[in-house]
Structure 1
Amino acid sequence: MQSLFAAIHPFHLQRSFAMTPLRQRMLEDMGIRNLAENTQLSYLQQVSLYAGHFHRSPEELGPEEVRAYQVHLTKARKLAPSSVSIATSALRFLYKVTLKREWAPDDIPMPKKPFKLPVVLSPEEVSHFLACVDSLKQRTILTTAYAAGLRVSEVTHLKVTDIDSQRMMLRISQGKGNRDRYVMLSPRLLEALRSYWKVVRPDAWLFPGDIPGQPISRNAVALACQRAHRAAGIAKPVTPHSLRHAFATHLLETGTDVRRIQLLLGHRSLATTSRYLKIATSTVCATTSPLDLLPEVAPLPSEPTASPVF
């Protein structure tokens, strides 16, 4: 049985030949709220999987089915809390916004995500990693991601006209949350971009993809990152987003204000940016312990000593 919410390719979010009234309404509701295209696609896919699991329309299902589905995702499929959260957000939108069900918030509980600090590359590791990227285009993309702290979707959607060499800025159009912002254009990055442009001669998209008129895909960048990671032999995990983490951490460690980093990263909340305070080792771990500020304490009577273990 084909689900009433069969997955739609992102290219066809606005035009589907098999559009059901419920799917159409949900799509319109997401459009009214200006949700990102990737979010719209993800929500439709998640509701499709939910309806397919029960082989029934979501309109016929209720809180008990939602709970059973969350148990299925957690126990049977063993999905991470972050993955369950995506499905939960989609179902919350469907039932609260599109179907306007008067349910209590706990009827669709949101799983609590464990707080994990990202593993951050050192400046030397970033330099070594970039040197192992064997494609001019991909090296320029990943260098740009690190130099400006960009998300992979932001760097892939840069246009030639977004480079402002007069003001030494990069314009990020409609980043996460559909917000524009400016970030710094480093002199070294500008030099790298000019060298890349002389070879590739991009027209509209700064980093064009294989499909005419389309930017390079996120998957292509991720694959290039994986190849360079293997070639670099770095034990730490490395993804395109790792370069964004490194950008923020390295700025913080060199004394840049957290509020300024928040603006550069495009974070809506300062609390999101403040997590980098926990991993900026040169500022956190280099802090003087209050023990070192105490007056010396008289030593205890001598006892037989053993060699220290550290």
Structure 2
Amino acid sequence: MLEEHHRKCPSIVIDKLKALRYSASTIKTYSNFLSIFFTYHYAYQPQEITNEMIRSYLRYLIQEREISESYQNQMINAIKFYYEKVLGGKQQTYFIDRPKKSKPLPIVLSQKETILLLKSISNLKHKTILTVIYSCGLRVSEIINLKLSSIYFEENKIHIVAGKGKKDRYVTIANRTKKLIQIYLKEYAPEYYLIEGQRGGKYTASSIQKFLKKQSYSIGISKNVTPHTLRHSFATHLLEKGISLRYIQYILGHESSKTTEIYTHITNTGIENIKNPIDDFDFD
């Protein structure tokens, strides 16, 4: 493809994404994928691209490029956004069937591994970050966007503002977590966000991912540990303690209970206590 054929994502798309408060990562993803899509069809104006041309392009990506399921779905979502949200077109069925996305069980730490990890951290900021993520069941985006004004110490709760799905929720702060946060605040005195970079402003998700992975390997945890692993682990440990799925669903901010039900496939607690009905049969 010649350089002169390259097409940038229309600025109207980025403006629309920002107006609808899409995340920075989604804006970057959609703009990149639409740039690729329009460059492929460089001989046509976006409005001239037909439904059949879209289907043909997707078949090309799958059959010739052998793209992943994730890549295909991201491309579809970007195209749908442009034609349906930006141009105001009706929802169309011009796409080939999406592949069923495989759903591997999430990686979780045992309670012993979680304790080992949190106890091993000497850096106060790092310990506070991971403790809050785990004990409040937060997403990494929620911890880096957590403002000091959203922490209510007297009420032992944190207000998670516009988390995933744009829905607010409250989560409780454990006493141990609250004490750690108070120690951290005296030491670091952040101005606006609970966790801030060395020069102020938001801490980055990549920094959290890097030090968590390094710390995990240093203490012999071979699992691929990410910030989301702590969230999964927290939910699993709650379930193991007998907390209802409905309550766990609210804490995690899941819109659907089906998302929360995945943790029932991870925990084994209680299975050993289930009596097999055949033991009640008398047929000797």
Per the normalisation by structure 1, the TM-score is 0.80
- Specify the alignment match of 2:83 in structure 1: 95
| Structure 1 residue 273 corresponds to structure 2 residue 279 | no
- Alpha-carbon shift at residue 103 of structure 1 (Å): 7.0
Name the SS of the counterpart of 2:269 in structure 1.
helix
Q: For 1:117, which of 73, 92, 105 is the aligned residue? A: 105
Cα 1:92–1:108 shift into 2, 3 Å: farther
* Matched positions, count: 279
Superposed counterparts of 1:194-233, under 5 Å: 194-212=182-200, 214-233=201-220
Residue 156 of structure 2 aligns with an amino acid whose one-letter code is M
Q: For 1:59, which of 32, 40, 47 is the aligned residue? A: 47
Q: What is the CA–CA distance in structure 2 between the aligned matches of 1:179 and 1:161, rounded to whole Å?
A: 18
Name the SS of the counterpart of 2:161 in structure 1.
strand
CA contact (8 A) 2:38 2:46 kept: yes
Name the SS of the counterpart of 2:27 in structure 1.
helix
| Structure 1 residue 262 corresponds to structure 2 residue 262 | no
For residues 178-205 of structure 1, what are the alpha-carbon distances to aligned partners after superposition, in whole Å with 9 as ceiling and x for unaligned?
2211001000001111121121111111
Cα 1:286–1:58 shift into 2, 3 Å: farther
Q: For 1:45, which of 23, 32, 42 is the aligned residue? A: 32
Q: For 2:118, which of 118, 121, 130 is the aligned residue? A: 130
Residue 230 of structure 2 aligns with an amino acid whose one-letter code is L
Q: What is the CA–CA distance in structure 2 between the aligned matches of 1:288 and 1:106, rounded to whole Å?
A: 52
Cα 1:78–1:253 shift into 2, 3 Å: farther
Q: What is the CA–CA distance in structure 1 between the aligned matches of 2:222 and 2:273, rounded to whole Å?
A: 24
- Alpha-carbon shift at residue 174 of structure 1 (Å): 1.3
Q: What is the CA–CA distance in structure 2 between the aligned matches of 1:108 and 1:27, rounded to whole Å?
A: 26
Name the SS of the counterpart of 1:280 in structure 2.
coil
Cα 1:205–1:110 shift into 2, 3 Å: same
Residue 291 of structure 1 aligns with an amino acid whose one-letter code is I
CA contact (8 A) 1:148 1:185 kept: yes
CA contact (8 A) 2:196 2:202 kept: yes
For residues 218-249 of structure 1, what are the alpha-carbon distances to aligned partners after superposition, in whole Å with 9 as ceiling and x for unaligned?
11111111111211221222110000001111
For residues 149-198 of structure 1, what are the alpha-carbon distances to aligned partners after superposition, in whole Å with 9 as ceiling and x for unaligned?
00000011111222211110011111111221100100000111112112
Name the SS of the counterpart of 2:185 in structure 1.
helix
| Structure 1 residue 84 corresponds to structure 2 residue 72 | yes
- Specify the alignment match of 2:180 in structure 1: 192
| Structure 1 residue 178 corresponds to structure 2 residue 166 | yes
- Alpha-carbon shift at residue 210 of structure 1 (Å): 4.2
Cα 1:106–1:53 shift into 2, 3 Å: closer
With 276-285 and 135-144 compared, the bigger mean Cα shift is at: 276-285
| Structure 1 residue 242 corresponds to structure 2 residue 242 | no
Per the normalisation by structure 2, the TM-score is 0.87
Name the SS of the counterpart of 1:105 in structure 2.
coil
The runs of 5 or more residues in structure 1 that have no matched partner are 6-21, 299-310
Q: What is the CA–CA distance in structure 2 between the aligned matches of 1:52 and 1:211, rounded to whole Å?
A: 40
- Alpha-carbon shift at residue 280 of structure 1 (Å): 2.1
The runs of 5 or more residues in structure 2 that have no matched partner are none
CA contact (8 A) 2:69 2:99 kept: yes
Name the SS of the counterpart of 1:41 in structure 2.
helix
Q: What is the CA–CA distance in structure 1 between the aligned matches of 2:80 and 2:147, rounded to whole Å?
A: 35
Percent identical pairs in the alignment equals 31
Q: What is the CA–CA distance in structure 2 between the aligned matches of 1:188 and 1:75, rounded to whole Å?
A: 54
Q: For 1:4, which of 1, 5, 8 is the aligned residue? A: 8
Q: What is the CA–CA distance in structure 2 between the aligned matches of 1:216 and 1:261, rounded to whole Å?
A: 27
Name the SS of the counterpart of 1:85 in structure 2.
helix
